[in-house]
Amino acid sequence: MKGNWWFIAMLLFVVTAPVFGEQVIPPADQGKMYLSIVGDRNDRAYYNLNGMFLNDKNLREFKKGVHFNNVTSDSAMYKARYQENVKGLPTVRLQNAKGIVLYEAYGSNLPTTAMGMYIRLELASILNDNANWQYATWGERFGNCPWGKCRPKQEQEEEPVEKLPEPKSDPVVEPEPDGPNILLLVVLGLVAGVVGLGAGVLSQLRKEHTERS
Amino acid sequence: MKSFMSVVLMGAVISTILGCSKPCKIYPPEKPVVNLPLELRQQNNWVGSGGQFDGSCVWATMISLLRWQGQYEIADYIRRNRAGGEFLGSVSSKLTELNIRFAVAENHDEEFLAWAIRTRRGAAVGIKKGKHMVAVVDIVGDEVCILDNRNVNSYIWIDKDKFFRDWHASGGWAFTPIYSPVSPLP
């Protein structure tokens, strides 16, 4: 009987231990990008922007792969590090690990839909990947990295608990379907197609013009 | 000239797509890399629950690092509810109680400190034979930069060998919270 109690106690310990354990292995996330949302906590636009990042599946996933910071204009952090270099509020800024701004939009320049925001952020990330490839060292290219391309490992961190300021009235967050990432590829494909077609037509016209003259 | 115009036009198109309408201000690399605004550096002199000045070097360091990583609420909670001396060995269990995500080096692991700087998080380290705790906020060449909670007005750059001798003699113990550090200056 005593043995059974011991077994149950051990079982409970094994089941509940991970709930209390918060010590983690140091993540190798030095290559992660930084996504900052900067704004006035009493501004409806700032609140809606945060809602966009909370409600849209693609943006939520994007946030998990980067260092995410919410900075309000009344904070000491804003006054010391953002006030001088943001052009308007609210601002969304994506930076690479070295601090280079890959994407920044503010005020009325901000995309109005979650999908629009997501496409811009993904596009900026793709450009950053290419920049990383260009600036990779010899060791990174031909050392331990498969195919010579080193993309910093994107650790999936548990999202910190976020508390948003209460708005004066209900936020207006556009309901958006959680679209698959394939949409991004389709849009990029279309853009590439149009550019290619245009270049082709232009080249043909130029050729004809040259032949005539 | 024509190709120059094409480059300018292409730049304008890319800028429009990415939303960058004018050149961004470029800052020089920050020194130290964990460059906490003065207002957010925690001095070791707050009033404890008993109504007397009763800070804690361990918790002051932790509060500064948490603020750097955007965890203001937890930092404020600690400031209100924790004070007094702390044994380094008991900090892990207390951080777990507070539900703080953290990483620890208990085995003189110098690479842990290098990692903490590489990831821009900084680290709390025991020095002076384990009697004091400070934050390591940068390691550059032969120097280590620390933020000492006894005087947070300025950073202190000290010789790397001297620092590591002190750290190893104090048990080689370090920890840091694991959240997102604030973004670098653009």
Say yes or no: A122 contacts chain B, CB-CB below 8 A.
Answer: no
Q: Which two tokens stand for residue B94?
A: 């207390």
Split at pLDDT 50, 70, 90, the class of B28 is: confident
**Which residues in chain B are contacts of A157 at CB distance < 8 A?**
178, 180
Split at pLDDT 50, 70, 90, the class of A150 is: very low
Contacts with B, A 167-206, CB within 8 Å: none
Residue B179 · residue B117 · CB < 8 Å = no
**Which residues in chain B are contacts of A22 at CB distance < 8 A?**
95-96, 99-102
Is the pLDDT score of B182 beyond 70?
Answer: yes
pLDDT at res. A181: 57
State the nearest Cα–Cα gap between A44 and chain B, in angstroms.
21
pLDDT at res. B11: 53
State the nearest Cα–Cα gap between A2 and chain B, in angstroms.
30
Residue A80 · residue B67 · CB < 8 Å = no
More confident residue, A15 or A84: A84
CATH number of residue B78's parent domain: 3.90.70.10
Tell me: cis bond preceding A90? Omega within 30 of 0 counts: yes
In a domain, B46, yes or no: yes
Distance of CA B82 to the CA centre of its chain: 19
Counting residues of chain A whose pLDDT is more than 90, the rounded percentage is 48
Say yes or no: B7 contacts chain A, CB-CB below 8 A.
Answer: no
Q: Mean pLDDT across chain A, nearest whole number?
A: 74
Place of tokens 């190893």: B168
For chain B, what is the domain count? 1
**Chain A / chain B CB contacts < 8 angstroms:** 115
Residues B65-88 as b/e (b if ≥16 CB within 10 A, e otherwise) read bbbbbbbbebbeebbeebbeebeb
pTM of the model: 0.72
Q: Which CATH architecture has domain A28-201?
A: 3-Layer(aba) Sandwich (3.40)
Split at pLDDT 50, 70, 90, the class of B45 is: confident
In a domain, B17, yes or no: no
| CA distances, B145 to each of B68, B80, B113, B167 (Å) | 16, 28, 12, 13
Distance between CA atoms of A157 and B22, rounded to whole angstroms? 34
In a domain, B154, yes or no: yes
Domain boundaries, chain A: 28-201
Contacts with A, B 50-109, CB within 8 Å: 67, 70-73, 92, 95-96, 99-104
pLDDT at res. A153: 40
**pLDDT tens-place string over residues A46-65:** 999 999 999 999 999 999 99
| CA distances, A135 to each of A130, A145, B99 (Å) | 9, 14, 39
Interface probe for B, chosen from A19, A29, A184 (most Cβ of B below 10 Å), is: A29
Please give the average per-residue pLDDT across A9-38, as a whole number. 72
Distance of CA B171 to the CA centre of its chain: 20
State the nearest Cα–Cα gap between A27 and chain B, in angstroms.
8
**Which residues in chain A are contacts of B27 at CB distance < 8 A?**
85, 99
Is the pLDDT score of A157 beyond 80?
Answer: no
In a domain, B18, yes or no: no
Q: Which of A67, A105, A124 sits opposite B180 (nearest CB)?
A: A67
Say yes or no: A53 contacts chain B, CB-CB below 8 A.
Answer: no
Is the pLDDT score of A151 beyond 50?
Answer: no
More confident residue, B88 or B114: B114
Say yes or no: A60 contacts chain B, CB-CB below 8 A.
Answer: no
Say whether B43 sits in a helix, a strand or coil: coil
State the nearest Cα–Cα gap between A84 and chain B, in angstroms.
9
Is the pLDDT score of B27 beyond 70?
Answer: yes
Q: Do B39 and A76 touch (CB under 8 A)?
A: yes
Question: Does the interface ipTM go beyond 0.90?
Answer: no
Residue A121 · residue A103 · CB < 8 Å = yes
In a domain, B157, yes or no: yes
pLDDT at res. B81: 86
State the nearest Cα–Cα gap between B101 and chain A, in angstroms.
5
Please give the average per-residue pLDDT across B155-164, as a whole number. 98
Q: Do A123 and B18 touch (CB under 8 A)?
A: yes
Say yes or no: A21 contacts chain B, CB-CB below 8 A.
Answer: yes
Place of tokens 């290219």: A141
Say yes or no: A99 contacts chain B, CB-CB below 8 A.
Answer: yes
Split at pLDDT 50, 70, 90, the class of A166 is: low
Distance between CA atoms of A92 and A90, rounded to whole angstroms? 7
Q: Which two tokens stand for residue B85?
A: 């001396």
Distance between CA atoms of A38 and B71, rounded to whole angstroms? 16
Is the pLDDT score of B3 beyond 70?
Answer: no
State the nearest Cα–Cα gap between A199 and chain B, in angstroms.
13
Range of the domain at B136: 28-177
Split at pLDDT 50, 70, 90, the class of A191 is: confident
Cα angle, residue A18 at apex, residues A17 and A24 outer, rounded to 5°: 125
